[in-house]
Chains A and B, each alone.
Chain A
Amino acid sequence: MRDVDYDVARFDGAVMLLPYTLRDDARRLIKADRANTEEIRLRIGRSPTALIGGEEISLRRDPVTKRELEWTMDILTQASAHTVNESFKAGYITVRGGYRVGICGTAVSQNGVVTGMKNVSSLAIRISRQITGIADGLVQEIMRGGVFRSTLIISAPGGGKTTLLRDIIRILSNGDKSRGIPYFRVGIADERSELAAAYEGTPQMDVGEHTDVVDACPKAYAMNMLLRAMNPQIIAVDEITQAEDVEAIKKLSHCGTGVIATAHAESLEGMMKRPLYMELIKSAVFEKTVAIHRSGGTREYEIHNMEGYICSE
């Protein structure tokens, strides 16, 4: 269920990450736009923009100055860029409130390895929003007899995979007696800090009472760490993209750990055409797939098992 006040509050939180010279420009947006802003983008020498419904809306005529970009970096890092070195190399940082900020600039490399970045030229502040309850009707469908069935969520980019996965994690981790769902120990391999959005170790999103998070760590490595250290019943991972991720997931299934993951694909058929995902499907790790389809303003979830059916959000 969308909560407009919450969505606007998330936007306002992102605006507080900007220097005061930019805040008023962002606040001039109407309420509906503030609620729907996905990103605030700052590019040196260009107007600052808000990404709303796939379109970039200019926030003011004056271009963003180098000073404003450096100032924004100081706000994001509390004037402590030296503390976010590793994340900075990867091209993003996660800041207080769970906002993920993409960074572009001049890469500094030594012996062909990127060791850092200087002269920041663009920033994209992503306004992630937790939508609680969207997976309420879905979790029962991916359980059978109180047992979790490993599930793969698929959709096109921007389809809402991460948001759905986060809500499923929350429900599985808390359990729901009224629906006959027991609670599970869930481990999250959160490479890009998007699922739990941990800031200084504390998840900024509600990912449940029995959830352990390894973030800012390659997914395959994080999955192994969780398996060895935390004895999870389910491991959640966002966006499988590499062969190592597939291998790590296979290993989890051999150990009897449930897996819930996401992948970019328009449909199950489209997915089967890609060798990496085909291998994953053939390995029979996943017993269920949930395909997200956007239809107008709503999302539809198509669950594949032995039989497919559609349930609406």
Chain B
Amino acid sequence: MFRMIGAILIISSTAAWGLSGVFRLRDHVRTLSSLQQSLELMQSEICENLTPLPELFEILAESAPSPASVFYKNLTVRIRDIGEKPFPQIWSDTVMETSQLVLDAQETLTLSKLGYSIGKYDKDAQKAAMTHTYNSFGRFREKAEMEMQRDSKVKAFTGIAAGLFTVIILA
């Protein structure tokens, strides 16, 4: 009886480990997709409606898909500290500290850099920066989707197989 319970526990935990990898791949794609969608809205709000950033972040916190919405919600609060920290730092810190965003190092850097361009006087430079970030996130998303298709089954299988293998060896 105890052996059976032990085997179930081992297989469950390794399966959970495998599934967490699958969920991470899925969350990565969701993060990139939601950020890319929000960048499209951001560009039209800044360039066409001249929306101030605090208002823009409120709009995006409401309308952007999750988890990008969480990032913008955090920004609506943090931008109030603009006298304490320069805006590019507020933006960059929020990118780093919003745990719901699943991004690798290059993606984090690309998004952080956008903080140096938005909200500036030069509309064309802003537009170019937003377009660049949008396109980059498009490429990141495609890559992440391919990765998810390729690796998710492998990760799930590896988790369960590792559990079964461990149980067989211990038995």
A200 nearest in chain B by CB position: B52
Which of B51, B84, B120, B126 has the most A CB atoms < 10 Å from its CB?
Answer: B120
A116 B83 Cβ-Cβ under 8 A:
no
A78 touches B79 (CB 8 A): yes
The digit string for B70-99, where 1 denotes a CB below 8 A from any CB of A, is: 000000000100111011000000000000
Q: Are B121 and A116 interface neighbours, CB within 8 A?
A: yes
List B24-52 residues whose CB lies under 8 Å from chain A: 46, 50-52
Known A-B contacts: A82-B120, A82-B126. Give 6 more (CB < 8 A): A18-B83, A20-B83, A74-B82, A79-B118, A118-B121, A118-B122
Whether A70 pairs with B50 at a CB distance below 8 angstroms is no
- Pick from B46, B86, B118, B121: contact of A71, CB below 8 A: B86
Q: Are A16 and B83 in contact (CB under 8 A)?
A: yes
Nearest residue (CB) in B for A68 is B86
* Bound-complex Cα distance A20 to B119 (A): 20
**Chain B residues whose CB sits within 8 angstroms of the CB of A19 once the complex forms:** 83, 86
Q: Does B7 contact A (CB under 8 A)?
A: no
CB within 8 Å of B: which A15-31 residues: 16, 18-20, 23
B82: which A residues are within 8 A, CB to CB? 74-75, 78-79
Tell me if A88 is interfacial: C-beta within 8 Å of chain B: yes
Tell me if B86 and A85 are in contact (CB < 8 A). no
A78 in contact with B53 given A18-B83, A19-B83, A20-B84 (CB within 8 Å): yes
The 4 A-B residue pairs with the shortest CB-CB distance, nearest first, are A80-B52, A79-B119, A79-B87, A81-B121
A67 touches B121 (CB 8 A): no
Question: Can you name the residue of chain B whose Cβ is closest to the Cβ of A103?
Answer: B121
Whether a CB of chain A sits under 8 angstroms from the CB of B153 is: no
Q: Is B6 an interface residue (CB 8 A)?
A: no
Residues of A with Cβ closer than 8 Å to B?
Answer: 16, 18-20, 23, 67, 70-71, 74-75, 77-83, 85, 88, 116-118
Cross-chain pairs A/B with CB under 8 angstroms, 23 sampled: A19-B86, A20-B84, A70-B86, A71-B86, A71-B87, A74-B82, A75-B82, A75-B83, A77-B52, A77-B119, A78-B52, A78-B79, A79-B54, A79-B118, A80-B52, A81-B120, A82-B50, A85-B50, A85-B123, A116-B121, A117-B121, A118-B121, A118-B122
Residues of A within 8 A of B87 (CB): 71, 74, 79
The distance from the CB of A81 to the nearest CB of chain B, in whole angstroms, is: 4
**Assuming A20-B83, A75-B83, A77-B119, is B50 touching A83 (CB within 8 A)?**
yes
Known: A116-B121, A118-B121. Contact between A80 and B83, CB under 8 A? no
Could you say which residues of chain B place their CB within 8 Å of the CB of A80?
A: 51-54, 119
| A88→B84 CA distance, assembly (Å) | 24
A78 touches B54 (CB 8 A): yes
